[in-house]
Amino acid sequence: MRLTHIAAAGSALVFATACAGNGDGGDVDPGDAPEELTIWTMGGATEESEEFFEELRDEWSQDYPDTSLNVEYIPWDEAQDSITNALAGGDAPDVLEAGNDQVSNWAVQGAILDLDEYVADWDEAEDINQEAMDYGSYENTQYSVPLHLAVRTLIYRADWLEDLGHDAPETWDELVEVAEDIEDEHGVLGFGAPTDFTNGIASFIWSNGGEIATSEDGAEWEGQLTDPATVEAIEFYTDLTNDFSPVYTGENELIAQADLANGELGMYIDGNWAFDEIADQAEDPDMVDNLGAAPIPGVDGMAPAFAGGSNLTVFSTADDPDFAFELLSTWASKDMAATWAEYTGFFPAYPELLDEPQFQEDEVAQASAEQLENQRYFPATPNWTDADFEGKIIPGAVLDIADGDNAEERLAEANEELTEVLNQETD
């Protein structure tokens, strides 16, 4: 069953009127509101996003009718340059959407404000997923508030599994069994395990009780890649690569996505957003009706998954930070977060909202909502970008192990590098 990413504008979740003082306990005077506030939202403008921001303007104007909202779209690949230029004195936003894994980076660079006092006075903050809220902080200071979350799940050919008499696998043993049966019956790859896929690899590590790196109370980070549980998980993952998808060594999940789209793969890990991309690549777009989604299999049940997503924060140069947070907390409020989720196809950061019909009546959405019950996060340090996106420390080690290197020896090297990079000084 395919997830409908963009819901109709007539929402089943009718949002309530926002109140003045939404964010800071009612201390702001609407008469002091500025003439304009600027939002930077990531990505490109779509019909759906434009409709959402019109709803946000309507909501905002009920308390601040004399303040216009200027919405600017920043492509994700231009975010770094745009924010850097804004810090240097260029045009800057008041409210900024940022990837939740980039919050520490912008905090270190002085691009975003300390929101501790604002969040402490915002009643709805206590209803937000607290792990997601914590990931929006850096060195025990709250710099951002979660806007939405997104997790990866197992995507599979439901029609094939049904014919084989299998439900979606829930454990590692079942994953291997189903992958073998797919290969035997259909002569294609059973499960896609690309080596350049930290998000997927991490789920296997966490499921086995391993960690990537740990830090106690802001102390130095210690890599945990030599932990026996981590080593065992990575060996299991590389066995999956070699046994079921050796062509994915050195590759990421996009190659698996393309293979699934055209009947060359039975299962792989990806996000609910991939369903549209699969349909676009398929010779027969209707094949997505034969796909299913389920939580990622772990050792004994659902594995943890990295919860990516976006956070909202106040830019450090905002002229009216009180009103900027008022806008932030209106956008990130429980009611508006539900509306945002309907337009974007992502998931609200309020756990109670995941029980709403829109997340439970569709199989794909329900799988993601269930997976969000077991979420984890990467090290909350600006150096994670250098370690993973730039250095590819974990993917590099996994690639070498899949190619035959001794796992303990290679992971010892990777662990030393990871610890050094995570603890390097930041500007």
CB atoms within 10 A of CB 139: 12
Q: What CA–CA distances, in Å, run from 27 to 19, 56, 323?
A: 12, 22, 10
Taking only the tens place, the pLDDT of each residue in 355-400 is 999 899 999 999 999 999 999 999 999 999 999 999 999 999 999 9
C-beta separation of 375 from 149 below 8 A: yes
Identify the pLDDT of residue 427: 65
Angstrom distance (rounded) from CA 182 to CA 164: 8
Q: Helices then strands (H, E): number in the chain?
A: 18, 14
pLDDT at residue 18 tops 50: no
Mean pLDDT to the nearest integer, 31-52: 94
Angstrom distance (rounded) from CA 49 to CA 74: 13
Angstrom distance (rounded) from CA 191 to CA 176: 8
Taking only the tens place, the pLDDT of each residue in 118-155 is 999 999 999 999 999 999 999 999 999 999 999 999 99
Share of the chain above pLDDT 90, in %: 87
Taking only the tens place, the pLDDT of each residue in 272-291 is 999 999 999 999 989 999 99
pLDDT at residue 241 tops 80: yes
Nearest to 169 by CA among 61, 299, 261, 21: 299
Identify the pLDDT of residue 89: 86
Taking only the tens place, the pLDDT of each residue in 186-228 is 999 999 999 999 999 999 999 999 999 999 876 899 999 999 9
Q: What is the pTM of this model?
A: 0.89
C-beta separation of 309 from 109 below 8 A: no
Identify the pLDDT of residue 90: 77
Taking only the tens place, the pLDDT of each residue in 98-127 is 999 999 999 999 999 999 999 999 999 999
Domains of the chain in start order, with CATH, are: 30-150+307-375 (3.40.190.10), 153-304+383-422 (3.40.190.10)
